[in-house]
Each structure stands twice: as C-alpha cells, then as structure tokens.
Amino acid sequence: MMAAVRVFVAVLVLLMFAGRTGSVHDGPLLLLVSFDGFRYDYLDRSESRVQLPNFKFLVQTGVRAKWVHNSFITKTFPNHFTIATGMYEENHGIVANSMYDPELGKLFHLNTTDPEWWDVGGEPIWITNQRHSGGKSGVLNWPGMQVEFNSTLPFRHLPTYNGSIPYHERVDTMVGWFKDSENPINLGVLYFEEPDRTGHLSGPESEEMDKTLDMVDRTVGYLIDELKAAGLFERMNVIITSDHGMMEVSQDKVIELDRYLDPSTYLWVDTTPVTAIWPHDEVTREHIYTALHNAHPKMHVYYKEDIPAQYHYRHNRRIMPVIAVADPGWTIVQNASTSREWNLYKGNHGYNNSYLPMNPIFVAHGPAFRTNLLSEPFNNVDIYPLMCHILGLDQHPNNGSYENVAHLVKKSTSWGPPPSTSEIIVPEGVPAFLCTYKLGVAIGLLLVLGGCIVGCGIYMQRIERSESIKQAHYTNLGKAHSEEDGDIADKEPLLEAEGDV
C-alpha cells in the first residue's frame, strides 16, 4: 500500500513540474519579420533563376497577398514605422529617412532615437503589446527599437542597431527570447537589411539579386527549422513583409537641381527621388517653387498643401514647404559630379507608391491564418490592426482597418491557445502556476489515476490478508499473520522529479 502511495506522490510531483508553462508564453505568439526592399514579385521569379522553396512552403500552407500598398514616401524608416503603428507618415511623424523639424530646429538622421522625434502620436505594436498584462516584446534592429514610448522600451531589444550580426544569429536570438525560461516574449519583431542592399548596388533584375534571394530563402528555412526544434512552429504566427520594392535606375536619367537653383538658397532635407526643400529665411518658398516648377519633364513639384490627397502626406510640420518628386527610374541630385547615390546605385525606391514595383510582399503562416490563400492587395496600415487581433490587444488609434484583412484569418477562434495565467482568477495565497489550464487538466487526470491506484492497493491488500488468514488456518498457527506492504516498499527506490520536463 505504501508503495502505491509513494508512486502516486512521485507522479504528482512530475506532473506539477511538467504542467508548468513558464518556458513559453501561454498566449498567442506572433513574429513579425521584414526583409528590407523585398519587392512583391520576387516570389514569382523563374525557377530557372531561383527556387525559394521555404517561401513557397509558407505560401502553400499559409496566406500571401498579391502585394501590399505601402505608404508614400516609399522609404525604409517611414514605412517600417507605418507597419509598426498602423499610421500614415503624416500622422506618426517619421515622414522621411532624413527630416527637419522647424519647431525643434533640428535635423533627424537614421541614428536619432530621441522620443521627441518618434513619440508624437504613433504607438508601435511592441508597446501596445506591453500595455496588456503579461505581454512582453522583443525587437531586433527594427527602426525605433531603442526609442522610449511613454517612458517604455521593448522588454527585449538591442542597445543599438547592429547590421553586422549574422542572419542566423538574429534568428537564434529571437527564438531564444521566445523560449526564455524566466521571461518569454509573446511578440517578436525582426529586421533584415537584404535584399535592399543588393537591389541598390546591383539592381533588382541582376544575377546578384538571384543569389541574395536564395540566401534570404535559406534564412527563412533556418527560421522554420529553429522554431520546429524549439517546439514553437505549430504555435507561432509568422508575418513576413517589407517596407518597399525596388526598380532599376540609370545614370542617363538624372535631374540636377544646380541647373535651376542656387544651393545656398535652401536646405536640402531629403534627397531622391522625393526631394524635400526648406527655403532659407531670405528666400521665399514661391521662389523655390517657381524655379523648379516645369524645370524638368520628369520631375513634379508641389507646394506642401497641394500634394495629392491619396499620398496622406500633407499634415505634418516635418513635411517641407516644397516637394519635388522624380518619375520612376529617375534620380534627383544637386550636382551629378558629387552625388554618391547617382554614381553607385543601380536600383532605388522612394517613388510614388502607386507605381507597382514600389510595393512589397506579404506572407503569413500559423494557427491564426488560413491556408493556401492568395489575397487581393491591402494597405500596410492594415497590418497593425491584424497583429492586434491575433494577440488580442486593444488597438491604439491608427489609420488601418481589420476588416480589410479579416479574410486572412481563420473564422474559428480555436487557433488561440488555452487562456494564460493572467486571464484566470488566482486565489490569494495560491501560486499562479497552480491555476493554469494545462496543470488543472493534469491534476484532474491525476486524481482519477490516484483513485484507481489507491483502490487497487486496498483491493490487493485485502486479497493478501485473506490469503494470509487461509495459510494460517491450514498450518494451525492459531492466529492471523499479515505483512505490512510498507516494509517491502521501503526497499524500493522512490521515483524523483528532475526539474521541468
């Protein structure tokens, strides 16, 4: 009898440890990945050039959009922050890679992390996630990673952007954050520089781009393998997207501002193909506009208030008084002899977002998403409400709409995991892990098992005692003799729990 009781206790200890879910967050899991400059049609390249089996696996078992309508201007920082916040650039305030704020009297560069530039209305998904009980975010190299929003940073992040980290190490770091034994994240946000770099230096149609796309696909394959090895792949919702596309440019297609304007009369805030101009005090914006308007047939010039409404690029003090926009494939420089971009680049982006090659990819896979679905295009501002829906978060005000992307998601809510500890009322004085869903089921099953073990033990004890009485009768011992099972059980080793299982 004692042996049965001890086995019961040992199994209870094992199940208590096995039932703990602290090594992986109990709620829905989401990983947002951006491959900078991944044009929407790179996935459709001829298999004789590049095969991309890992992307195709995710597409066949998940969803793909034909393309995503990104935001004007089609550059890296503005669109990455739009994806993260669901806001157009005029609303979240990161209106270009290079900006001038007349109220601050300062210039913004790519390494600027002061919240006065970033925390002006938009809330990135990693902060929205942490506003909810139990939410923890990990951000690796995404623009805005090191910025405090309402004095809050991502729970996991790098101290500064580091583009030298090998891609497989970025994957290892992110997966490690998800399976951290003490404080696992439930949202990961991960950035890669390619294929943007290759697109600039070699052009989107080059053989070098084919090699880079193969490398990117192998990175996706490594991510899949590592998620599977960690036991996370079936639970992980993965969104792979980008900020913009890419197109070929030529040194024969260049517009020189020095032909029309004295460079000492203005501050050239942002460069090409959308040129942002701040007139110096002694020069009026009318002078700048008049000098550039109709100066070149491949350049369109706007007063700030006349920028087309569909660009959502008017209502912000960081949008310069005069904007010049080059036609696709053309480059705006001050002087062709000194322009680094014009001399080096074979591909570029930043053009009108209605030009199809500027649009990026969207591929998603996981328990929340439908399978083998090709979606019509939607806007990149819709990705934020989609992520909030998957994670069960209250949205910060944004310009997107979940209704535009609801067709990507399974109608049933069964894709969600069991309620997390934070969603269960924990009685005072009771450890939270004892109230988790999984452990509750385990303990319930254990009680049934324990009842069976105890019942069998009592039944066997009665049989043994009956046989002992019979034997005593047959040998004329004159008294009943019975052995305690515990004396034998004490000689048996007790099964010990060896930590979490």
List the catalytic residues: 76
- Measured CA to CA, the distance from residue 337 to residue 332 in angstroms comes to 12
Cβ burial 177-196 (10 Å sphere, 16+ → b, else e): bbbbeeebbbbbbbbbebbb
First-to-last CA distance in the chain? 27
Beta-carbon contacts of residue 265 (< 8 Å; ≥ 6 apart) = 279, 280, 282, 283, 287, 288
Amino acid at 125: I
Cα dist. 497→11, 226, 341, 418, 454 in Å?
8, 28, 63, 26, 21
- Measured CA to CA, the distance from residue 37 to residue 213 in angstroms comes to 11
Residue from 3, 41, 11 nearest 355 by CA: 41
Residue from 150, 129, 326, 363 nearest 242 by CA: 363
SS3 content of the chain, % helix, strand, coil (to 5): 40, 15, 45
User: What are 497-500's contacts with CB under 8 Å, separation 24+?
Assistant: 497/10, 497/13, 497/14, 497/16, 497/17, 499/17, 500/17, 500/18, 500/20, 500/23, 500/181
Beta-carbon contacts of residue 157 (< 8 Å; ≥ 6 apart) = 138, 139, 140, 145, 146
Cα dist. 295→174, 288, 320, 334, 499 in Å?
50, 11, 19, 14, 75
Q: What angle do CA 314, 318, 324 make, to 5 degrees?
A: 65
The total number of residues written for the chain in this structure: 501
- Measured CA to CA, the distance from residue 353 to residue 74 in angstroms comes to 6
